[in-house]
Structure 1
Amino acid sequence: MPETSASIASFWDAFAASFDEEADHGLRDPEVRVAWAERLHAWMPSFPADVLDLGCGTGSLSLVLAEQGHRPVGVDLAPLMIEQARRKLTAAGFDAVMLVGDASNPPAEAGTSFDVILSRHLLWTLPAPQEALRRWIGLLRPGGRLVLIEGRWASAEPAEDQSYEVESEAMPWMGGVEAERLAQALRPLVKTLHVEPLLDPALWGRPIQDERYAVVAFT
């Protein structure tokens, strides 16, 4: 594993046990869970879909997708996060595939053809996010969609941005990426896209002051 990837995996492994304590991570608060379930339902196809959940963490969104009748496959670089995700999905009665791997270049065993690729707050951790976007779009079936839940929070949460033991130049979108910048990167690669602000405090378990949004792009 490259040094940068190893640093990222180690960082998130250290938080695996407590990760779900954050309202938008564990979705333990009923109001937060309902808010995310409603958004996911709106973003997903009306039919049971094959969904690649990249940077899936402890699998909370994958679990919601499975409950809605979709077929999620999760990929995360942090082994302890994937352990949590597997336990979570299994305990709920779902036989979903949860894999340790580089979300920017998903392992072949995850599959090569999906209806939807989903990621939440992942792009800022990637050394080459624009390359990753091109790679992800190549995994979508004709008419597939990319759902990117992102934000720009560097000014609001500087401590998290500075937690990786890597040079800032290695993470061009460290601290998050503005909606328009992400949309500009995607427009040459997709047929259509729209940006949806995610400002509802119910999604985060608290009011937020920074930029939060989803980009939904169609191939």
Structure 2
Amino acid sequence: MTETAETVETAEITAYWDAAAAAFDEEPDHGLRAAPTRTAWAARLLSWVGAEEGGAGLDVLDVGCGTGSLSLLLAGAGHRVTGVDLAPRMVERARAKLHAAGLPARFLVGDAAQPPTGTARYDVVLCRHLVWTLPDPAAALREWVARLRPGGRLILVEGRWREAGEGAAPYVPGAASLPWNGGVTAAELSAAVRPLVAALRTEPLSGASELWGGPVDDERYALVAEV
């Protein structure tokens, strides 16, 4: 991909998610406003992060944090959260959400594929529903693994979306050329991550309707890897 193409796509992607920020939390799994959905995500995060309840908090990097709903759950569980998102309006809402809850967290505007966090290292890098938007997801995976401390965990909540069938319109101009436009299967993502980590597992989530606010008919899963 040329440098010009990457620049155009980044601008288009930023504009798209900035425009989506105002209504983003209306989706049940985005805003987590319903108690059963929020409780379901909190329980899954606890199991993926691997921290003992009541134990010392972990340093968590939430890449592509959006409006901060997962950051909120993690901060509420006592973890030290840094969120990164390309869209300034998403970051504004994430900051406001954590502030309203009286919880500490750090949010940065920046490229989630290359988080602007300097030399900081983390116990957990979390990413939900992001890799399909990236011009170079393989490079992003290497970058995220490099941000982890020994024994750290990479948690990817991803899927292959129902809307991504043949002939589906790209979500922004040029997105059809993205390597994982429309999502990535668990098998494909596992193959990309496996050489970078010591161990990984995948957890199917399509049948967990409580996470999504109702039934879904596409592939959704979590990949949890350890370095």
- TM-score > 0.5, shorter chain as reference: yes
Q: Per-residue deviation at 1:94?
A: 1.6
Name the SS for the 2:149 alignment partner. strand
Name the SS for the 1:145 alignment partner. strand
Correspondence 1:187 to 2:194: yes
Correspondence 1:17 to 2:22: yes
The TM-score with structure 2 as length reference comes to 0.91
Name the SS for the 1:215 alignment partner. strand
Unaligned runs of 5+ in 2: 1-5
* 195 and 77 in structure 1: CA distance in 2 versus 1, 3 angstrom threshold: same
Query: Partners of 1:197 and 1:83 in 2: how far apart?
Result: 32
Q: Per-residue deviation at 1:168?
A: 1.6
* 159 and 28 in structure 1: CA distance in 2 versus 1, 3 angstrom threshold: farther
Tell me what 1:102 maps to: 111
Query: Partners of 2:167 and 2:94 in 1: how far apart?
Result: 26
Does the Cα contact within 8 Å between 1:161 and 1:175 map onto a contact in 2?
no
Tell me what 1:87 maps to: 96
Tell me what 1:163 maps to: 171
Name the SS for the 2:83 alignment partner. strand
Q: Per-residue deviation at 1:156?
A: 6.1
* 160 and 49 in structure 1: CA distance in 2 versus 1, 3 angstrom threshold: farther
Query: Partners of 1:135 and 1:119 in 2: how far apart?
Result: 13
Q: Per-residue deviation at 1:112?
A: 2.1
Q: Per-residue deviation at 1:95?
A: 2.4
1:124 to 95, 114, 132: 132
Q: Per-residue deviation at 1:160?
A: 8.4
1:69 to 48, 61, 78: 78
- Amino acid of the structure 1 residue aligned with 2:212: W
* 201 and 80 in structure 1: CA distance in 2 versus 1, 3 angstrom threshold: same
Q: Per-residue deviation at 1:151?
A: 0.2
Query: Partners of 1:142 and 1:213 in 2: how far apart?
Result: 24
- Amino acid of the structure 2 residue aligned with 1:38: A
Q: Per-residue deviation at 1:167?
A: 4.6
- Amino acid of the structure 1 residue aligned with 2:127: S
1:2 to 4, 7, 16: 7
Does the Cα contact within 8 Å between 1:119 and 1:148 map onto a contact in 2?
yes
Q: Per-residue deviation at 1:165?
A: 1.5
Correspondence 1:114 to 2:122: yes
Tell me what 2:47 maps to: 42
Greater CA deviation, 22-31 or 41-50? 41-50
Query: Per-residue displacement from partner, 1:145-181 (whole Å, max 9, x unpaired)?
Result: 0000000014468898622122522x10010000011
* 70 and 184 in structure 1: CA distance in 2 versus 1, 3 angstrom threshold: same
Does the Cα contact within 8 Å between 1:193 and 1:215 map onto a contact in 2?
yes
- Amino acid of the structure 1 residue aligned with 2:179: P
Query: Partners of 1:56 and 1:69 in 2: how far apart?
Result: 17
Query: Partners of 1:158 and 1:30 in 2: how far apart?
Result: 36
1:207 to 183, 193, 215: 215
Name the SS for the 1:48 alignment partner. coil
Query: Per-residue displacement from partner, 1:114-146 (whole Å, max 9, x unpaired)?
Result: 000000000000000011000110000000000
Q: Per-residue deviation at 1:108?
A: 2.9
Unaligned runs of 5+ in 1: none
2:151 to 121, 139, 143: 143
Correspondence 1:133 to 2:138: no
Name the SS for the 1:103 alignment partner. coil
Q: Per-residue deviation at 1:44?
A: 1.1
